[in-house]
Amino acid sequence: MTSLPSPTKEGGKPSEPGNPNSSDGLQAGLKNRHLSMIAIGGVIGAGLFVGSASGIAAAGPAILLSYALVGAMVVLVMRMLGEMAAARPSSGSFSAYADQALGRWAGFSIGWLYWFFWVVVLAVEATAGAQILEGWIPAVPQWAWALIVMLVLTGTNLVSVSSFGEFEFWFAGIKVVAITGFVVVGLLAVFGLLPGSDNPGAGFGHLTDAGGFFPKGPGAILTGVLMVVFSFMGSEIVTLAAGESSNPQRAVAKATNSVIWRIAVFYLGSVFVVLTLLPWNDKSITKDGSYVAALNSIGIPHAGQVMNVIVLTAVLSCLNSGLYTASRMAFSLGRRGDAPGSFARTTRRGVPQTAILSSVAFGFIAVFFNYQWPDTVFAFLLNSSGAVALFVWLVICFTQLRMRGIILRETPEKLVVRMWLFPYLTWATIAMISFVLVYMLTDDAAREQVLLSLLVAALVVGVALVRDVRRRRLGEENAAEGTAPAESPVVKS
């Protein structure tokens, strides 16, 4: 195992990412309410609103089991990540932990793959938001809306981390209120208790009245898993953001402990409401979208526009947090010497300006590819990053297996969040994720994603291993000459 020396303050004590005076240059600008809402809203992506209809069409009511299986997997992964993040808060999160537990090659590889995933997501979300805005104001072309959205959110991230936190607080707040309201109003309509509702209030009847609970057979549950697994990506963002709060340990512990009810309410709860308001094979679900169809069945006026506002909010939230996440991962890579040193520079307000601008620049390029070559270049980018979420979760699992021992040896008092039934549930989660990856290879729609993602991952790992060999040789040469290799400085601008 190879690990980096901890950066130190003048007194020689290790710096803490959450400390406002930490030598990493980041500032503790996120308040408790920011982190609480980031944690709650982080699991609600635009994929939940726009992707659930295809999952329902593929598996029927059994899609609930697909969401439950993936949700359980995410809960376990977040528990592992929470254990490490509470003990060692870091802007690099799982990439930094992989660096310490598995070796420099692992931290380098998963950090760059994760960065790649999010800058491609920036293009996807910017385009989705632009489509909605163009529908409202067609005088402004779609590409211009995408540019405007990217510029505005880049500006908020450049100002300060508290600006990012404030925007995300309100974006996430709108999503949370919308989903909670949908679940409450929907359940009232399900049981015929909503005054003036157009829904007949069939109770749980729709779960079985159109071919039973498994209309496509039990095997459709696995098909549903492939369709919903990527809508859960983003729950880990709070562990990166915690490094810029005044009490990262408390924030991580709180977020980790609340992930179960968040997934239960927002994912399982909302999809359950859709399936009880309408038969799963109702044509309006695929035509209008699951949530719009459900709102129409209740009799909510202008349901489509209401949902467009909510989806736009989810898109902007994903863009905002995606840019933040990509820039912090780039910052962490720069700080560890795995990216250009300029990525580790921060402004006086504690903002990694170069890391932000570099991330958004690639995002702009990806947006251009989406408009110029959507079926070739951009499709390659999309597919080659498609399985990265599963790679990240696998690395978190293997890292936690090693980090538990490291934490117990070095700082046992900081092990305030513990993975349940360690190491058995960790190995069970590894088996679950591996099974999903293998099953994707048997699915015609998902096979290309896995193969291209594996190809890109292999290239990145190859670069990492070559760097490790060169670094080792340099170290041997320096040792023979009686000199020590210089450490990468941490600098502010």
Q: Write down the pLDDT at residue 262.
A: 83
pLDDT at 15: 38
Q: How would residue 43 be classed by pLDDT, with cut points 50, 70 and 90?
A: low
321 close to 234: Cβ distance less than 8 angstroms:
yes
Closest to 239 (Cα-Cα) out of 89, 451, 24: 89
The pLDDT value given to residue 483: 59
Contact 6, 14 (CB under 8 A): yes
DSSP string, 392-403: HHHHHHHHHHHH
- Under 8 Å between Cβ of 317 and 171: yes
Average pLDDT, the chain: 85
Q: Using the predicted structure, report yes or no on whether residue 347 has a pLDDT greater than 80.
A: yes
**Rounded to an integer, what distance in angstroms lies between the CA atom of residue 388 and that of residue 395?**
10
pLDDT at 14: 34
pLDDT at 482: 66
Tell me the C-alpha distance between 30 and 239, whole Å.
12
Residue 25, classed as helix, strand or coil, is coil
Supply 396's token pair: 């978190």
H helix or E strand, kind and range, residue 185: helix 161-190
Share of the chain above pLDDT 90, in %: 41
Which among 448, 136, 438, 407 has a CA at the least distance from the CA of 249? 407
Q: Name the most confidently modeled range: 20-34, 151-165, 366-380, 424-438.
A: 424-438
Q: How far apart are CA 438 and CA 19, in angstroms?
A: 42
pLDDT tens, position by position, 202-253: 789 999 988 999 999 998 998 888 888 878 877 788 888 877 887 888 878 8
438: pLDDT confidence band, cut at 50, 70 and 90? very high
Q: Is 74 helix (H, G, I), strand (E, B) or coil?
A: helix
More confident of the two residues 26 and 80:
80
CA–CA separation, 407 vs 153, rounded Å? 37
pLDDT, mean of residues 458-475: 90
**CA–CA gap between residue 180 and residue 265 (Å, rounded):** 8
pTM of the model: 0.87
- The answer to which of 43-57, 196-210, 395-409 has the lowest mean pLDDT is 43-57
Angstrom distances, CA of residue 323 to CA of 58, 111, 296, 426: 32, 14, 34, 30
pLDDT, tens digit, 9 for 90 and up, residues 76-128: 999 999 999 989 888 788 999 999 999 999 999 999 999 999 998 888 888 88
Cβ(100)–Cβ(336) below 8 Å: no
CB 475 within 8 A of CB 462: no
pLDDT of residue 65 exceeding 50, the answer is yes
Using one digit for the tens of pLDDT, what is the confidence trace for 271-330? 999 999 999 999 999 888 899 899 999 988 888 888 888 888 988 888 888 899 999 999
> Phi and psi at residue 234, in whole multiples of 5°?
125, -15
DSSP single-letter state for residue 347: -
pLDDT at res. 443: 85
> Does residue 484 carry a pLDDT above 80?
no
Asked if 350 and 25 touch (Cβ cutoff 8 Å), the reply is yes
Residue 126, amino acid: A
CA 73 → CA 24, 260, 403, 458, distances in Å? 33, 11, 20, 25
Residues 6 or more apart whose CB falls under 8 angstroms from that of 75 comprise 259, 260, 263
Q: Is the pLDDT of residue 490 over 50?
A: no
- Token reading at 81: 């990540």
Average pLDDT rounded to a whole number, residues 435-449: 88
Q: What band does 391 get if pLDDT is binned at 50, 70 and 90?
A: very high
* Collapsed DSSP state (helix, strand, coil) of residue 417: coil
Assign 341 to helix, strand or coil: helix
DSSP assignment, residue 186?
H
Q: Are 74 and 232 spatial neighbours (Cβ–Cβ below 8 Å)? A: yes
CA distance linking residue 199 with residue 473, whole number of Å: 71
Rounded CA separation 321/370 (Å)? 21
Question: Which residue type does 278 have?
Answer: L
Apex 470 CA angle, 466 and 473, nearest 5? 140
396 confidence band (pLDDT: 50, 70, 90) = very high
Is the predicted pLDDT of residue 491 greater than 50, yes or no? no
Question: Does residue 333 contact residue 339 with C-beta atoms inside 8 Å?
Answer: yes
CA distances from 192 to 2, 269, 303, 345 (A): 62, 18, 20, 59
Q: Which residue has the tokens 């920036």?
A: 122
- What is the distance of C-alpha 233 from the center of its chain? 4
Percent of the chain with pLDDT over 70: 92
**How does DSSP classify residue 103?**
-
Query: Both tokens of residue 395?
Result: 């690395």
Q: Work out the average pLDDT over 180-199.
A: 89
Adjacent-strand bridge partners of 492: 346
Neighbours of 312 (CB within 10 A): 20
Contacts of 23 (CB under 8 A, 6+ apart): 7, 8, 9, 15, 490
pLDDT over 60 at 23, yes or no: no
What six digits make up the tokens of 235? Answer: 């729950």
- Residue 165, pLDDT score: 87
